[in-house]
Amino acid sequence: MIELDNMAYSYGGGELLSGVSLHLQPGAFHFLTGPSGAGKTTFLRLCYGDLTATAGAVRLFGQDVRDLSRDDLAVMRRRIGVVHQDCQFLDHLPLHENIALPLTVSGQASFDDSNLRELIQWVGLSHRARALPPELSGGERQRAALARAIIMSPDVILADEPTGNVDWEMSQRLLTLLIELNRLGKTVLIATHDLALIRAAKSQVQARVLRIANRKLQFAGADL
């Protein structure tokens, strides 16, 4: 699905990531951890082609990102659901339209409304469907971002600190949603520095933990 082959990324003269290799298999559940500023967000952006590796290769569904045009990459991104830490939305559109945005831009304007309603209900936002993004709480925004990320039924879900702005109870709800998606066959990669969340997840799902340290990607041991 997503392959990183001896990949490196440099920015502003400094190397952020070096010699990174990873193959995300279908149905896998991974956590990506590391100290703040280690490059977790950069790593995720490289995984969905928002950044281009300065060395090595990143392949999405078998195709090298460097060989893809911008439009090809955009189409490829529809197979990857991304949940950002800062949950970017179109503030002038109500929540239900924001969640349906991937369908809209892919030309599926005549999607089944009942599926959308079900999805909004699944993330517990039925009562907020017509609210504008600035009116939502942090937890509501995170759940809405997750709903938007999965509405196209992507093969991979990349989540960057999805529980960063929410309380423990809400983070558990979001984690449960992601585990449910993984059980439906989706590949999940969550970048987080929240070790308690990782421990909670490991009791429910077989998850591998990756750590970025000193520009390298390592597999974390059982000490987590």
Partner 1 sequence: MSPFRWILSILQADTQADRVVPPTGHTVRLTLFSAAAMAFLAVFALALSMATGRLAVRWGDELARSSTIRISAPAAQMDAQTEAALRVLSTTPGIKSARALTDEEQQELLAPWFGNGVSLAALPVPQLIEVVEEGDGYDPNGLRLRLQAEVPGATLDDHSQWRKPLIRAAISLRRLGTLSLLLIGGTMAAMITLAATAALAANAQVIRVLRLVGATDVYIAGAFVRRFTLRALAGGVIGTLAGMVAILLLPGAQTEGGFLTGLGFQGWQWVLPLVIPPLGAVVAYFATRAAAMRTLRGLR
Q: Where do contacts with partner 1 occur on this chain (CB under 8 A)? A: 50, 70-71, 74-75, 77-78, 82, 84, 88-93, 97, 101-102, 104-106, 109, 148, 152
Give burial (CB, 10 Å; 0-12/13-18/19+) of 83.
buried
CB 91 to partner 1: min, Å: 8
CB 30 within 8 A of CB 209: yes
Token pair 């490289």: residue: 46
CB 41 to partner 1: min, Å: 13
* Cα–Cα distance for residue pair 202/206, rounded to 1 Å: 6
CB 61 within 8 A of CB 79: yes
CB 71 to partner 1: min, Å: 4
CB 81 to partner 1: min, Å: 9
CB 209 within 8 A of CB 222: no
Q: Name which of 83 and 207 has its Cβ closer to partner 1.
A: 83
Q: Name which of 108 and 172 has its Cβ closer to partner 1.
A: 108
* Cα–Cα distance for residue pair 159/174, rounded to 1 Å: 11
Crossing angle (nearest 10°) for helices 138-150 and 113-122: 140
Q: Name which of 106 and 176 has its Cβ closer to partner 1.
A: 106
Q: Name which of 102 and 162 has its Cβ closer to partner 1.
A: 102
Report DSSP state, residue 19. Answer: E
CB 167 to partner 1: min, Å: 26
Q: Name which of 70 and 221 has its Cβ closer to partner 1.
A: 70
